[in-house]
Amino acid sequence: MAKTHVDAIVVGAGWAGSIMAKELTEAGLSVVMLERGSERTTPVEGAYPESIDELRGAVRKRLFQNLSQSTVTIRNTMDQTALPYRQLAAFLPGEGVGGAGLHWSGVHFRVAPEDLRLRSSVIERYGEKFIPEGMNLQDYGVTYEELEPFFDKAEKVFGTSGEAYKVQGKIVGNGNVFSPDRSDNFPLPAMKDTFSASIFRDAASNAGYHPYALPAANASRQYTNTYGCQMGPCNFCGYCSGYDCYLDSKASPNVNILPVLRQDPGFTLIPNAHVLRVNLDSTKTKATGVTYLDTKTRKETSLSADLVILGAFQFNNIHLMLVSGIGKPYDPLSNTGTIGRNFVYQTITSSRVWLPSSSYTNQFVGAGGAGVAIDDFNSMNFDHGPLGFVGGSPVWVNQAGTKPIAAATGAGGGGTPRWGSAYKDALINTYKHSLGIDAHGSNMAYRDVYLDLDPTWKDVYGQPLLRMTFTWKDNDIRMNQYVVSRIEPVARAMGATKMNLVHLDAGQPFDTRNYQTTHLGGGAIMGENPQTSALNRYLQSWDVSNVFVIGSNAFPQGMGYNPTGMVAALAYWAAHHIRTTYLKSPGPLVKA
């Protein structure tokens, strides 16, 4: 490529990168976006019937990170040897233009305001001693009120469907009573309840809980977003998670931002460009650009820039910071350093409820973001005092479209046959007559749960793999058990003939072999203190002020909600402050 210098480099073509690139080109900057995966344009690749092939899609993992090139190592505890994550299972990062934003489901939450100041909130209500030893509970350093305009902006880009509760102080609808005030309604009405979601809504309501329609970046109607990009109405085909949407109904960078951004002469997207490192000057306080490898030609290119935005997947941002020497790596023994600190996940279990054989749940019908949830056991919405744990879980029926291979490989076990004629009986009955209820919970940060570089294994480019040290902790296991216990009476009221309530067991280690969620977080968190956060409240590196790191890596702890809505709002928040303050006078936006 001819250019050797641009105003800004954006690493990663997912939601975070695409939002930042859009905002920076709007500000008049020349922007190069580097994506290590391939080009992906949904009108071609997402077309029917190509896109709805389960084997080629979710099973052979068409849109996910190719681990043969780069992966992570994982161990549960610091005294173990971490081993490579050789096959995709527990989490499924995306790769290619659109990133995980192409294959996501579309659940599009804001944030529970108290989750942004969870440490302060817990201390105010229960005192500092309530926080378990070794838990790094922290505030984000930003408030819901500050972020609200950016949540609103993101929803209007994503074409989010939902039902509001409160707009400008007035109760306007049957939305989530625990949700905070909004400046405006959702751009689209809520998605319809599936049969399974509708009976959950009734049962939860009768039990005294407060059901609401999940906010979904699945378009309930035709929609033209603020950029002029168009979405078609969702038809509940059931191919969201793991797929690109053939109707352009599910928001993705590919559908909602890039069609416009690609037309901007100030914007260049380079796929198959694997960024090897961010280059720093001799003081290690200023980035000079990046060096990337063209994965097709294996040619290395260095590109200089005034501003570098890391918008790769959560752990890939941490990896880039560590291999580039941005900030000080976290050391759990001395409890110093910040890069890799507060690595978090989510605590999610799926329970199953069987209805009478006269009721068909038609589980292939669905939309990734549609469903009915309750927040009665999420965030600080209930009294944790007698329960003695921090955190919570929304509980929901989110019928996203269950495909047959996934249903079949996951059926059986836990004392029931996994093959043979009895297995067939159970599989068919389960597919036709059951539904899932998820406890989609928070995960707290701990001193000995973190990310660093592996001493042994390397990626195909010769760089050390990122090492995860992660397991379930007592606080989060007890939170999960409590919330799952609250599902039982609701399930009974739904007319359950049988139920399988699934929760974590005490002492159960994290298992990399089964899908749980791709909602990884933390590792380069935002905060108010450079000793305990990698980024300031504008997601700017405390150490290298012309590097901003955008993504769920900024979350100090894993929240109960799906992260994409928060990531998008943080991206718009950071971009706003770059545009209005940083570009006029580049340098730290907060004094360290």
Partner 1 sequence: MEPTLNRPLRRSFVKGLLGTTSFWMASGHASWAAALAAEATQPYQPVFFNGTEYRFLEAASERLFPADHNGPGAKALGVAEFIDRQMQTPYAHGENWYMSGPFQQGPANLGYQLPFVPRDLYRKGIAGVEHYARQHYGKGFSDLSAPHQDEILTALEGGSVQLDEIPGRVFFEQLRTNTLEGTFADPLYGGNRGLGGWIMLGFPGARADFMDWVNQEGAPYPIGPVSISGETA
- Contact region with partner 1 (CB under 8 A), list: 58-66, 148-156, 381-389, 568-576: 58-66
Helix, strand, coil percent values for the chain (each to nearest 5): 25, 25, 50
Q: Which residues pair with 170 in a beta bridge?
A: 167
Q: Is 362 helix (H, G, I), strand (E, B) or coil?
A: coil
Q: Does 296 bind partner 1 (CB under 8 A)?
A: no
Q: Compute the least distance from the CB of residue 159 to partner 1, in Å.
A: 17
Q: Compute the least distance from the CB of residue 44 to partner 1, in Å.
A: 9
Decide: 280 and 305 in contact? Cβ < 8 Å: no
According to CB under 8 A, which one of 7, 39, 54, 181 is a site residue for partner 1?
54
Q: Does 86 bind partner 1 (CB under 8 A)?
A: yes
Residues between 179 and 208 that touch partner 1 (CB under 8 A):
192-195, 198
Residues between 388 and 427 that touch partner 1 (CB under 8 A):
403-405, 407-409, 418-421, 424-425, 427
Q: Is 432 helix (H, G, I), strand (E, B) or coil?
A: helix
Q: Which is nearer to partner 1, 6 or 74 (CB)?
A: 74
Distance (Å, whole) CA 116 – CA 133: 21
Q: Pairing relation of β-strands 273-280 and 372-374?
A: unpaired
According to CB under 8 A, which one of 61, 166, 328, 576 is a site residue for partner 1?
61
**Of residues 319, 433, 519, 577, which has the active-site annotation?**
519
Reply yes or no on whether 108 is catalytic: no
Q: Compute the least distance from the CB of residue 505 to partner 1, in Å.
A: 13
Q: Does 336 bind partner 1 (CB under 8 A)?
A: no
Distance (Å, whole) CA 24 – CA 571: 11
Q: Does 579 bind partner 1 (CB under 8 A)?
A: no
- Contact region with partner 1 (CB under 8 A), list: 65-73, 107-115, 164-172, 483-491: 65-73
Q: Compute the least distance from the CB of residue 422 to partner 1, in Å.
A: 9
Binding mask 20-49 for partner 1 (x = CB under 8 A): ---------------------------xxx
Q: Compute the least distance from the CB of residue 288 to partner 1, in Å.
A: 31
Peptide bond into 563 cis (omega under 30): no
> Which residue matches tokens 């580039």?
324
Q: Does 361 bind partner 1 (CB under 8 A)?
A: yes
DSSP string for 418-470: SSSHHHHHHHHHHHHHEEEEEEEE-B--BTT-EEEEEEEEE-TTSPEEEEEE-
DSSP string for 257-300: THHHHTT-TTEEEE-SEEEEEEEE-TTSSSEEEEEEEETTTTEE
Residues between 449 and 478 that touch partner 1 (CB under 8 A):
456-458, 460
Q: Compute the least distance from the CB of residue 135 to partner 1, in Å.
A: 23
Q: Does 83 bind partner 1 (CB under 8 A)?
A: yes
- Contact region with partner 1 (CB under 8 A), list: 162-170, 355-363, 553-561, 584-592: 355-363
Decide: 412 and 418 in contact? Cβ < 8 Å: yes
Q: Does 87 bind partner 1 (CB under 8 A)?
A: yes
Environment class of 510 (CB within 10 Å of its CB; exposed 0-12, middle 13-18, buried 19+): middle
Q: Does 78 bind partner 1 (CB under 8 A)?
A: no
Cα–Cα separations (whole angstroms), residue 149 to 254, 347, 581: 23, 29, 17
Q: Which is nearer to partner 1, 67 or 453 (CB)?
A: 67
According to CB under 8 A, which one of 53, 294, 448, 528 is a site residue for partner 1?
53
Q: Which is nearer to partner 1, 361 or 552 (CB)?
A: 361
Distance (Å, whole) CA 500 – CA 23: 47
Q: Does 222 bind partner 1 (CB under 8 A)?
A: no
Helices 144-158 and 564-580, axial angle in degrees (round to 10): 110
Q: Compute the least distance from the CB of residue 308 to partner 1, in Å.
A: 28
Q: Which residues pair with 289 in a beta bridge?
A: 279, 304
Distance (Å, whole) CA 451 – CA 468: 5
Q: Is 592 helix (H, G, I), strand (E, B) or coil?
A: coil
Distance (Å, whole) CA 15 – CA 565: 10
Residue 335 phi, psi (nearest 5):
55, 40
- Contact region with partner 1 (CB under 8 A), list: 109-117, 234-242, 308-316, 479-487: 234-242
Q: Which is nearer to partner 1, 239 or 542 (CB)?
A: 239
If we measure between CA atoms, which residue out of 173, 183, 181 comes closest to residue 152?
183
Q: Compute the least distance from the CB of residue 214 to partner 1, in Å.
A: 14
Tokens encoding 20:
């930042």
Distance (Å, whole) CA 578 – CA 538: 8
Q: Is 366 helix (H, G, I), strand (E, B) or coil?
A: strand
Residues between 497 and 536 that touch partner 1 (CB under 8 A):
509-513
Q: Which is nearer to partner 1, 5 or 60 (CB)?
A: 60
Q: Does 71 bind partner 1 (CB under 8 A)?
A: yes
**E-only strand ranges, 12-77:** 31-34, 72-75
Q: What is the DSSP letter of 140?
A: -
- Contact region with partner 1 (CB under 8 A), list: 50-58, 329-337, 517-525, 540-548: 50-58
Q: Which is nearer to partner 1, 95 or 375 (CB)?
A: 95
Q: Which is nearer to partner 1, 360 or 497 (CB)?
A: 360
Q: Compute the least distance from the CB of residue 246 to partner 1, in Å.
A: 7
Residues between 110 and 149 that touch partner 1 (CB under 8 A):
none
Catalytic residues: 519
